[in-house]
Chains A and B, each alone.
Chain A
């Protein structure tokens, strides 16, 4: 198995620009999670999908953040406009509906200048 795939691995952008992070979950998994990790706040759940439907987006910081899952094999997390405080590592994880273990991607390190 290829595991969870995220792209890009690193993103450097300027404040005000739109940023799109991408995730391909493990085939057959029906739950997908987006997390943000910073030194100050640790690992925070932003949003999660079940069967492509957003179930809980209470962790999304503000309206500048949006996430979509158009099909079972692809999800995006978009930040528009980006701000320096959005700088973090963003992880995507997926899990099967029959187990609780989550499988994490390698993360996208976002730097907003």
Chain B
């Protein structure tokens, strides 16, 4: 079953613009991760934020976590064509199991 739910399902932006997507989850977590999947490829880990953290940065990525609202957001700044992909949030359960959401498909137009 899916724990995380991403919003929106799809996003189309112009190159150079920022892209923001959200993830909501239902139960308590230890950490939340974001992954990227390019078409026809496996998932690639982007960033992990722990439950006691509120914000984390990695390059052009910024992730926030609000445990009181059980939600997280991923911001990609100054988007590039290469950022075109699907983005998934994943929440941890017990024994290192991850539950993935349905993903947000991001299209960056040149």
Contact = CB atoms under 8 A, between A and B. Distances in A.
- B contacts with A: majority SS: strand
A106 B95 contact: no
Interface of B: 2, 30-31, 33, 35, 41-45, 48, 88, 92, 95-103
Contact of A42 (B33, B42, B102): B102
A43 B100 contact: yes
20 contacts: A4-B42, A33-B97, A33-B98, A42-B101, A42-B102, A43-B88, A45-B97, A45-B98, A48-B95, A48-B97, A93-B42, A97-B96, A100-B30, A100-B31, A101-B33, A101-B45, A102-B43, A102-B45, A104-B35, A106-B42
A50 interface: yes
